[in-house]
Amino acid sequence: MSLGSVLTAIVTPFDDNLAVDEEAFVDLMHHLAAHGSDGFVVCGTTGEASTLDDDEHLRVIELACRHRPPGATIVAGTGSNNTRHACHLTEKATGLGVDAVLSVTPYYNKPNRRGILTHYREVSAATDKPIVLYNIPSRVVIDLPNDLLAELAQIERIDYVKQANNANLAQVDGLGLYAGNDEIFARTLDLGGCGGILVASHVIGEQMHRMVDEPARRAEIDASLQAVYRAMSVTNPVSVKAALNLLGHRVGGLRLPLVAADEAETAAVRAALESVGLLSPTPAGVTG
C-alpha cells in the first residue's frame, strides 16, 4: 500500500495546563490535510511522544484514526528501547486502526546487531500492518547501516525506512525510502523514494508537495525553501510550534525538558516565514 508522499510528523498541541488539546489536534490535522499533507505520523519525536504517558499516547492515535481527513493515512509512532513496551504500543495502535507503525531504533541501551534484529522480529509479530523503521543516530546513538537495513527488510512487514542519517541515504532492496530530514526530501524523490516524513510541511506543505507533483521544478522549489528547513530544524519541535503559534494555530507550549523558543529563536522562525510570504515583514523596531 502507499502511505503517501508528504507525511507530516504532526505536533501534539497542549492547552494552558499542558494537557493534550484534543480539539486543536483534530483541527490542525484537517488544516494540514487541506494544505499538502497526504498523511500523518502521530506520536513521533515532533509529537513529543517521549513526554506522553501511554494513555495519552494511545488517545492521540485514537483521535487521529477516528477523525482522519478523507484519504489521509495514519502512521503511529510506537517505538521504545524496551521491546516489550514497543510490542505493547504496536499491538494497541494496530487495534485502533492505523495504516502503519513507525518504530525507532532502540535508544540508550545500545543493542548490538543481533539484539536489533531480534527486537524487530518481536515488533513484527505484534502487528499485521506495515512497519516503518526509523534510523536516527543523532538521537538514539546507534546507526542502522544499509547492509543491516537490507537484512531487516527480510523480516515480514518491515516495508519502509525513515532515513534520518543523510549519509546513509540510498535505496535498499525491500524497503520503501522516506526522507527523515526535510533537507533531503528532494534528494529522496530524485532517488525514486516514497517521499518524506517531514516537519516543515506544517507550514509549507503545499510547496513541498509541489516537489512531488512538478519534478522538473523540484530543485528550484527546494532551493526556495531552504531557510524554512533550517529554521524548523534548530530544535524540533520547539521551532515548529513557534511557527504554528505565529501563524495563529493553537498548539500551545512544550513539556519539559523542552522549553518554548526564546526571543532570538522566535525572531529567526519569523524571518523564515517572512521569506516565503507566510508573514508580513516585521516593522523596524518591533520584536516578537
**Active site residue: 92, 120, 160, 162, which one?**
162
> With pLDDT > 70 as the criterion, what percentage of the chain qualifies?
97
Full-model pTM: 0.96
Asked about 160 being catalytic, the answer comes back as: no
pLDDT at position 235 is 87
pLDDT at 59 exceeding the cut of 70: yes
Where residue 281 falls among pLDDT bands split at 50, 70, 90? confident
Work out the average pLDDT over 172-188: 98
Going by C-beta distance under 8 Å and a sequence separation of 6 or more, which residues neighbour residue 251? 11, 13, 14, 21, 24, 28, 241, 244, 245
pLDDT at 283 exceeding the cut of 70: no
Mean pLDDT over each residue of the chain, to the nearest integer:
96
Reported as a single tens digit per residue, the pLDDT across 161-175 is 999 999 999 999 999
DSSP alpha helix (H) spans, 1-53: 22-33
CB 282 within 8 A of CB 274: yes
pLDDT at 218 exceeding the cut of 80: yes
CA neighbor of 100 nearest in space, from 79, 73, 81: 73
Q: Where are the domains of the chain?
A: 6-214
CATH says 6-214 is which class? Answer: alpha beta
**Active site residue: 134, 160, 178, 229, which one?**
134
Going by C-beta distance under 8 Å and a sequence separation of 6 or more, which residues neighbour residue 184? 163, 166, 169, 196
| Beta-bridge partners for 42 | 76
Residue that the C-alpha cell 512487514 belongs to: 157
> With pLDDT > 90 as the criterion, what percentage of the chain qualifies?
95
Asked about 162 being catalytic, the answer comes back as: yes
